[in-house]
Amino acid sequence: MAQSYGNEITTPAATQFVSAQCLGAENVSRRRQAIYDVADRIVGESVITPPIYIEDVITQMRAAPALSLSQRYQRLKKASQLYKKASLAGLSPAMYSDLVMKVTGLSQTVVSQSLENIADGLTHMRDILQAATPAGAVWMSSSPAFTTGCSLFSRRGDVVSVITAGNGPGVHGLWPQAIAMGYRTLVRPSTREPFTAQRLVCALTEAGLENYVALIPTDYKGAETLIARSDFSIVYGGPKIAARYGNNPRVLVQGPGRSKMVIGKDVCHDETVAVAADSVLSLGGAACVATSAILVEEDAKGFAKRLRQVLATRSQQRALPLARKQEAEAYEKLLQLDDIPWRYERNTSEGVLLKPHVALVESAACQSVQRELPFPCVTIAPFNAQDGCKALSGSLVVTVLSRQKKLINKVMEDATIANVYVGSIPTTWMDYRVPHDGYLADFLMCNRGVKIETGFFYGDDF
């Protein structure tokens, strides 16, 4: 049965409607907000759920019946097929992809690949969690290891909230892992792109995981309620979000990415520029793993010139991202002091085309080396291993294109860099068995010593 909270109508009816969903019920709050595409057309409408509803939902989900680990795996695998192939929330996969393209400005290739990747993650959830499990730990309470003593990999809480981003659908590949771990997971979708969260929650609900997932479209006040009332939270955002929640042990901040490449003096620029271009352009340049800075040991100016040429050529072969006009104007203002200022070229009926931008600066210490924008925008700086490695600290990904052992070791030794790749590997490379900014289980799980004498109760699967 649908529930109703609030009495304010803020936008007219629109094409796709995003409601709150919890425990198989739908929230039809009358307080709404419009969803725009990159051409400033209204393409949808989302409810704004109030804090009172959110608090009620969290209480209900804590008390809802539980499933075993094996049951959760089975239903996640079923959700994978639904997410990939079924019509959900009134949208076929093709209709969903088209709508996401309209609101994010990303190409069909990027959106379609994200749909495949998220479905694959649901299918391989057992492998993902196994990769994140310490070698001496077990999940199942029926394991024979309990009689000799072992570590039980255990949840640190019961409820996790997810405050998502809207730069692309790929961010939704992570949080379903929390459901596999047994967390009741409440997802606040981005106001820009709520359709991936909606589709995924619908798939999980239809697969029988309605007690484990809720869709909570809400405003900033509602998001704060989610964070305050949940045991743990995963929050996506930039520097301001990191500054606000970075010291909160119950909040895992995802972003900013600031993925970088280092071009060593021992490699040929003609060979490395292609990898650099792929890293800048991949995923529309909007993802946190897209390269936003490249540090070059020799002839940074020459490398910048080569990269501009390659990006200009490849931009004609790839679909570039689109944005709303006001966003493009903001980027233009931000980049006006670069050595070659960025200008948006044209405002089409489908949005503003965001062409690639390459900035050249005099030092790796320049502030723009840490700049990250949601389109193919990269800063080139000269690099030396003695003091330039400081600019790499805190990066999500660093690709080192060099065979110099001292340089590679120095990068490897910086534990603040989440992922390090050596060789012709784009910063956008990912594999579901490899941690992305650590394993989510590192944050949500813990090891507990357990030993049970033979013949005594083992308990249920967790």
Is the pLDDT score of 14 beyond 70? no
| pLDDT number for residue 459 | 59
Q: The tokens of 316 are what? A: 């004609």
| pLDDT number for residue 170 | 92
Asked if 444 contacts 414 with a C-beta cutoff of 8 angstroms, the reply is no
Which of the pair, 5 or 198, is modelled with greater confidence?
198
| pLDDT number for residue 317 | 65
**Rounded Cα gap, residues 457 and 142, in angstroms:** 10
Which residue segments constitute the domains of the chain, with CATH numbers given?
Answer: 16-255 (3.40.605.10), 259-422 (3.40.309.10)
Q: Helix or strand or coil: residue 450?
A: strand
Least reliable range by pLDDT among 172-176, 240-244, 355-359, 453-457: 453-457
| pLDDT number for residue 458 | 59
Average pLDDT over residues 352-367: 95
Average pLDDT over residues 168-181: 95
Q: Helix or strand or coil: residue 212?
A: coil
| pLDDT number for residue 462 | 56
**Rounded Cα gap, residues 311 and 318, in angstroms:** 10
| pLDDT number for residue 460 | 58
| pLDDT number for residue 33 | 94
Element (H, E) at 185: strand 184-188
| pLDDT number for residue 461 | 59
Is the pLDDT score of 146 beyond 70? yes
Residue 3: pLDDT band with limits 50, 70, 90: very low
| pLDDT number for residue 237 | 85
| pLDDT number for residue 2 | 39
Looking from the CA of 13 toward its CB, the CA atoms found within 13 Å total 1
Which of the pair, 431 or 319, is modelled with greater confidence?
431
Position 266: which residue type?
A: D
Average pLDDT over residues 37-41: 93
Is the pLDDT score of 5 beyond 50? no
Residue 266 DSSP class: T
Is the pLDDT score of 182 beyond 80? yes
**Rounded Cα gap, residues 426 and 162, in angstroms:** 28
The pLDDT tens digits for 185-194 are 999 999 999 9
Is the pLDDT score of 350 beyond 90? no
Q: How high is the mean pLDDT of the chain?
A: 91
| pLDDT number for residue 30 | 82
Position 67: which residue type?
A: L
Asked if 38 contacts 14 with a C-beta cutoff of 8 angstroms, the reply is no
| pLDDT number for residue 11 | 43
Element (H, E) at 213: strand 213-215
Residue 6: pLDDT band with limits 50, 70, 90: very low
Is the pLDDT score of 239 beyond 90? no
Is the pLDDT score of 456 beyond 80? no
Query: What angle do helix axes 69-85 and 108-123 make, rounded to 10 degrees?
Result: 160
Residue 175 DSSP class: T
The pLDDT tens digits for 291-333 are 999 999 999 999 999 999 999 998 876 778 999 999 999 999 9
Q: Give the pairing type, strands 397-401 and 377-382.
A: unpaired
Q: Give the pairing type, strands 347-348 and 351-353.
A: antiparallel
| pLDDT number for residue 12 | 42
**Rounded Cα gap, residues 205 and 75, in angstroms:** 9
Is the pLDDT score of 453 beyond 90? no
Residue 348 DSSP class: E
The share of the chain scoring above pLDDT 70, in percent, equals 95
Average pLDDT over residues 152-179: 94
Average pLDDT over residues 417-437: 93
| pLDDT number for residue 142 | 72
| pLDDT number for residue 349 | 75
Least reliable range by pLDDT among 121-135, 244-258, 362-376: 244-258
